[in-house]
Amino acid sequence: MTSHIELPKYSDEPLAGILNTLRLERLDGDGNVYRGQNMPQFGGRVYGGQVLAQATVAAADTVSRGGDPEERLAHSITAAFLRPGRTDTPTDFEVFELNDARSFSTRSVRARQNGTIIFTARISFQLLQPGPSYGTPVPEAPDPDALPSSVDFFAQIDNDWGHLMSTTNALDMRYVDGNIFVRPADPPSNHTQVWFRTRNPMPEGSSKLLQRAMLGYSCDQLMLEPVMRNTGVFWGHPAASVATLDHSIWWHRNFDVSDWILADLESPSAQNGRGLSIAKFFQGGKHIATMSQEGMVRLRHITK
């Protein structure tokens, strides 16, 4: 049995593969346990953004049950990545209903593989209400159409990594300061900007919840880049060891991940093989979300 939240049907890859992982199966009838499948990943490790997005959908399903899923939208999530998951093993999500008040609902989610907890999260939902509104002004950045595309970059990489990214990564990313896929940043900097959007348009009827889950899915692959750029680490480095430890998101306003979003990222500190990154996201002149992430960023010692 699928979750109560209906996701629109979609068949165009690579976006379809991601949306299918968000189509969760309820394991206990009308209960709060869900199962999700995994996207393929290099090295067989589950992508953290996928688990975060699945947890968001699972929690929202228990909030909207019997009502309008757009009435109370997720406005924040605080997540901890405890152990790496395996792509060949389904992930089960157990949702705990902590609170349903007049304006807010709170859920706790535990994700397990083979009975072992790999991820936990607290997610808050709020009834749409009137109130004061302001946001950070949009920073200056070049037009995304004037910047090189990550889609074109990976299409030219003739190896397993390039093929996987070309066929499964649903994002088109445009780096203002150049990408760090195969070489370090030059010059090093703890600040960077990235434009991104989905390579395929989101399907007609995509809910605001699905858009928010997709933003969480997308940004886990960007958040630690300021730390990497300032420490000489790049994605293709043979000794690079990069992993998310915790990730918080505050969704401020509605948006469409099919249209260009500007991520403005900065790392205030790195130490002991860990780094912290804070990012603001903008679309259409509005500040749509803020994120923070701490992760492990270090180079392994390789013996010859």
Query: Annotated catalytic sites, by residue?
Result: 220, 244, 293
Q: Annotate 55-110 with DSSP letters as a single string.
A: HHHHHHHHHHTTS-TTTEEEEEEEEEE-S--BTTS-EEEEEEEEEE-SSEEEEEEE
Answer for the pair 193, 262: CB distance below 8 angstroms, yes or no. Answer: yes
Q: What is the Cα–Cα distance from 263 to 244, expressed in whole angstroms?
A: 18
CA separation for the pair 199, 12 (Å, rounded): 10
| Residue of 69, 111, 105 lying closest to 89 (CA atoms) | 111
Could you identify the residue written with the tokens 């948006």?
A: 255
284 Ramachandran zone, left/alpha/beta (phi>0; psi -120 to 50) = left
Q: 235: which strand partners?
A: none
Query: Among all chains, which residue has been given the structure tokens 């750029």?
Result: 229
How far is CA 271 from its chain centroid?
Answer: 24
DSSP-assigned letter for residue 23: S
